[in-house]
Structures are given as C-alpha cells and as structure tokens.
Structure 1
Amino acid sequence: MIHGINGLDVHVLEAGHESPGRPLALLLHGFPDLAYGWRHLIPILAEAGYHVVAPDQRGFGRTTGWDGRYDAQLAPYGLLNMTRDALGLVSALGYRRTAMLVGHDFGSPVAAYCAIARPDVFPSVVLMSAPFPGTPAFPFDVADGQPAPVPPNTGPQRLAAALAALDPPRMLYQQYLSTREANDDLWHPPQGLHAFLRAFFHVKSADWPGNKPHPLKAPTPMEFAQLPTYYIMDLGRTMSQTVAPFQPSAADALACKWLTDRDLDVYAAEYGRTGFQGALQAYRVLTDPALNAELRLFSGRTIDVPSLYVGGKSDWANYVSPGAIELMKSRATTKMSGIDLIDGAGHWVQQEQPARLGTLLLAFVKEVGGADQNRR
C-alpha cells in the first residue's frame, strides 16, 4: 500500500522492485478489473528487466480514500483527476518518468491523458481495447454568428434516445451502468456473484464463439443494434439478466486456464467486499457532458509521444465507437507505431494472451528506446 497519492492510499501489485534502478512499467486496468488482472503479464515484464507496478485504480479493490456512495461527488472520478492519480503514483515510487505506460479498457483514456498532459513523465503509451478518438475540441472560427457549439460528450445521450426508440427498445451499456440500480444488480445478482462474473468475463472473451466483431458503418441505431447484448442491452433488462444465458458449462469453466475458479474467487471476494459503485462512478462521469468540460483544456492537443494500440481480434470494444480507430490514427496521435489485434483474445487481452501481449510491448519499448532512457 502506498499512502497519500492524490488523496488515496493505493494498493499495488509489483515485481522487479528488488533490483534498484530498473525502468518503470505502469499498468492501468479497466472495468470490472483489478490490478490482479495483470497477474499473467507482470512476471513477463519483470523477467525482461522492468519494475512493474499495477495499481487498483480509484474506485476499485483495496485502494482506499474514494467515496463509493451513488450520491458521492463525481469530480474525483474525472479523467484528469485519475491522470493525477497516475502521476502521483509515479512520483511516490521515486521515478521521474515511466519506460512503459499501458492502459486497458477505462485505463486506456486515463493513459491517453497522461501522455497528453505530461509527455515528460509518460514518454510513450500503449492503449488497449478502447481506441482513443482524440480530445473534445472547442468550436473553431464560429465568432461571426455560427450555430451554438454542441456541449462535449453529448453523443451518448442522443444515442440513448435513438436506441430506446427501436423495436424492441435497446439501451447502451454505459447508460445502464450509470443508473442507481446497477450497483446492486452487479453486487447481488440472482445467480450469485461468482457465477455472474464468470459469465461476464466469458461472454466478452474469445472463448465465446459469438464474438465475431467487425467495424460498424456509421453511428446509427440500426448499426449499433448489431452489437452483442452486453453492449447494446435490451431496455429494462439488467446486466446480470443479460449475461446469464451465456453462462459457460462447468467443463468449459474448468478448461479456462486464463481465468481459473481460484482467480475468479479473487474478483468475487474483492467486489463482494466493496460493491461496484466506486468502479461505476467513471461511467457516470463519461455520460455527463458537464463533468467532461475540463477535457477541453486540451482542445487541439494530440498524443505526440510514441504510441501503440493493442486489442483482441475477438473484441467488439475495438468497434463500439464507429470510426474511433481511424480518428486515433489520423487525428488523435502523431507517432502511432501500429494497431495490433491479437488472435485468440477478446476483451481481456492481458489475461487471455499475456505472452503475445508481452512480446508486443517489449518490442514496442525497444523500438522507441524506452527501456534505456527512462530509468529513475
């Protein structure tokens, strides 16, 4: 536990700290993951010579100092404050910069803003399973009576209304996860927490044969309706109800080596203890335009450090924001090395295919010179 990090006591998993002077690899998880989600990758990077640190992010696991009530203030869960969490952690560890910064799922936009706001501290970045389409921009050249600018991040609200008008009506998963009811549904599902988490991890992995993702043609309700129900839910159904039909058999669960029952026990114990509300606060931030206004501080800024995008070939998350990958390549970054989609992986790349991911990460850092240049 590392104390006093931007108001938090941060629980971390780490390896390689026994050898002084190693370059720092910082790994930021997403939802509903934990630092534990990096357990397969941490030893690979440590063996390669890194001091590897994976924190439980704000709102998750054994990190403390966050308010998990639904009515808690949401500003602490904003992207820029979570960027400050990462910056404070690097400093507390005694480093001036990272050699490797990796963000998965919701950790991806946090890592992106780390690289945008403090390229001196985060001189390269790897984004995983959540393409970064760029910063919200202020309207340009509209002083002579052009239409009023659209508030930032209003897309989810417009999409939610359009999906609700479909027959049958649908609902964006982010909208559902922002509701007051979501925490209790996830925390106390009818099938039990262990079974719910097994189904949730399974249905978003390459193990579920229904995951055959492809780019959507446009951000229209009919295109979004092609997405699996764990992304575009049936209106009125809970997430536990949504994933229940995809519960793997006992034999399939036993055969899942990347997420054993003992591994799943860790997740069930942690979320059984804390609930999900702290982890869900970030979704409430993402779906509230007023809470994203501060991101316009970086209007026009791009990720100008070397960057890489990694996803699972069987992961719909690469395409749930139509055009995001193209925007990431053409507008949001200036030094993107490539986009690698890993065979045999769905959304949980670092758990499903850690060896392949490790090979990509180490090759990327070698290419950009991070391991030699970014020691303490």
Structure 2
Amino acid sequence: MHLLEAGSADRPCVLLLHGFPEIAYSWRKVMPALAAAGYYVIAPDQRGYGRTTGWDPAYDGDLASFRLTNLVRDMVGLLAVLGLPSVNAVVGHDFGASVAAWCALLRPDIFRTVVLMSAPFAGPPAPDAPIAVDIHRALAALDRPRKHYQWFYATREANADMWRCRQGVHAFLRAYFHFKSGDWAGNNPVPLRGWTASELARMPTYYIMDLDRGMADTVASEMPPA
C-alpha cells in the first residue's frame, strides 16, 4: 500500500481517505496544515488506486475484493502495520467518505471520530428496502437519451475512451476537472425532487451523460483558457 505521511508519528493520528478519481496526493495541501496543528497525518492510495497494488486489474477480474468490508480491513491492517491501535479521526472525501463511514461503524474502537466530506452516508441497507428503480433504463428512454457516468465507467470501453482519447490524457484531464469545478459557469447547484430520470437529467453532462457519448467527447468542449 502506497502511503503519504506528515508530522511526527508520536502525535494523535488523522487518517485521510481520498475519493474518486483521486489518490493520496489529493491531500497534499491539507496534510501540512494538519501536521502543523499537531497531528500525525497519513493518507494511503486506497485499493484500486494509484501505487497501491494487490488485486486482479483485469476488467473481468473478481470484484468481490473491492467490497466495503475489505476496504475497511485494508485500513485496519494499515494501522496495525504502523503500530497504531487507533486514530483520533478518519476523514473521507467523496467515495472515501463511504469507506470512512464504514470504518467508524464497524470498528468504533479504532476509528474514534469521523468526518465525511461531499458524500453523505445513507447508512446500512434496511432488510425491507424497496427494490431500486432501473434508473439506467429510464435514462436511456428519455427524449434526449442519457446515462449515469458511473454506469459508463463500469463498461469495458470506458478506460480506453479516456486513456487513448484523441485530445490526449493531459488535455482531457484539464477539461474534465475544469468542467467539474466552480469555475465552470454551468455549475449552479439545484435541489433534485427525486431519484427519477427526468430529475437526474437536470444535472450537468459530466454526471448524466448523453447516451451515445463517452466522457472524453463529453468534456472536450469545456477546455479552460490556457
């Protein structure tokens, strides 16, 4: 597991868990400030990200190893290797918030406090939870057919769409992150009235994409000024 550290290991520990599409380096501007405040700060590349290895990377590989309980186990094992019986706080951003929440839920003796950023925790699924609407089919049936970006990222062709895009990876990432930033004029948050295709279609196309487009084409027109 690849790990970034800041501060002295004899101080209270804060564990930082990045989101998607990020790595531990995403915390580079936060870690020095926390260290200066008196904390020992650790930020790993989570399973499936960055320089951390140890799973089948093939598209058809076994996804069971990426269950949230295994991601929690990764953090418990990391702390054990570092000789840390507990952390003062686990901080999760985006998808890392889900991991942080489950860390605190499953092992409150180790993860004593939790901070969730960007992604609220819905809690464990209830035994009598209603059957989810097939939102992907509903999006595809709209007058302007759409698809959820997570559905696209789960397809076999998604990696090549971005990694081998015609504009090049650097230009793609510049446009992608500008499109999702506060600098993009179209990012005006609005409340959604429900988990329906018509409501989701109000979101920008980096979230609810056109059905016939990949992500590289979706963001290509949003390149920021040089």
Equivalent in the alignment of 1:183: 159
Match status 1:63 vs 2:39: no
Runs of 4+ aligned structure 1 residues displaced above 4 Å come to none
> What's the counterpart of residue 269 of structure 1?
none
**C-alpha separation in 2, matches of 1:128 and 1:67:** 29
Partner of residue 35, structure 1: 24
- The letter of the residue matching 1:169 is P
1:284-328 deviations in whole A, cap 9, x for unaligned? xxxxxxxxxxxxxxxxxxxxxxxxxxxxxxxxxxxxxxxxxxxxx
Of 57, 64, 82 in structure 1, the residue corresponding to residue 71 of structure 2 is 82
Kindly tell me: are residues 176 and 128 of structure 1, through their superposed partners in 2, closer, same or farther at Cα, counting changes over 3 Å? Answer: same
Per the alignment, residue 241 of structure 1 pairs with 217
How far 1:150 moved relative to its partner?
Answer: 4.9
Greater helix share, 1 or 2?
1
Letter in 1 for 2:151: Q
1:13 aligns with 2:11: no
- Local SS of the residue matching 2:41: strand
Amino acid at match of 1:192: G
Identify the residue that residue 171 of structure 1 maps to in structure 2: 147
Q: Mapping of 1:36-51 within 5 angstroms? A: 36-51=25-40
Q: How far does residue 20 in structure 1 lie from its aligned partner after superposition?
A: 4.2
How far apart, in 2, do the equivalents of 1:36 and 1:15 lie? 12
Alignment of 1:1-376 (within 5 A): 10-16=1-7, 19-139=8-128, 150=130, 154-155=132-133, 158-250=134-226
Q: Which digits, 9 at most, give the CA deviation of each residue in 1:21-52, with x for residues without a partner?
A: 20111111111111110010010001011111
Give the whole-Å Cα distance in 1 for the aligned partners of 2:89 and 2:33.
13
Structure of higher RCO (CA pairs closer than 8 Å, 6+ residues apart): 1
| 1: CA distance, partners of 2:82 / 2:39 | 13
* Distance of 2:51 and 2:4 partners within structure 1: 11
In structure 1, give the amino acid aligned to 2:141. Answer: A
Aligned to 1:175, what secondary structure does the other structure show?
helix
**When the two structures are aligned, how many residues end up with a matched partner?**
226
Separation in structure 2 between the aligned mates of residue 227 and residue 70 of structure 1, nearest angstrom = 28
The Cα of 1:103 is off from its aligned counterpart by: 0.8
Distance between the aligned counterparts of 1:45 and 1:228, measured in 2? 34
The CA deviation string for residues 146-179 of structure 1, in whole angstroms up to 9 with x for no partner, is: xxx756xx44xx1111101001100011111110
Question: Distance in 1 between the 2:22 and 2:85 partners?
Answer: 27
**Partners in 1 of 2:178 and 2:80 — Cα distance?**
37
3-state SS of 2:83 partner: coil
Could you tell me how far apart the structure 2 residues matched to 1:85 and 1:186 are? 28
Gaps of 5+ in 1: 1-9, 140-148, 251-376
Distance 1:30 1:20 in 2: 24
TM-score with structure 2 setting the length: 0.96
Q: Deviations over 1:208-247 (max 9, x none)?
A: 1211112111112111110000000000100111111111
| SS across alignment from 1:84 | helix
Please state how far the C-alpha of 1:66 moved relative to its aligned partner. 2.1
TM-score by length of 1: 0.59
Identity across the alignment (%)? 58
- The one-letter code matched in structure 1 to 2:49 is F
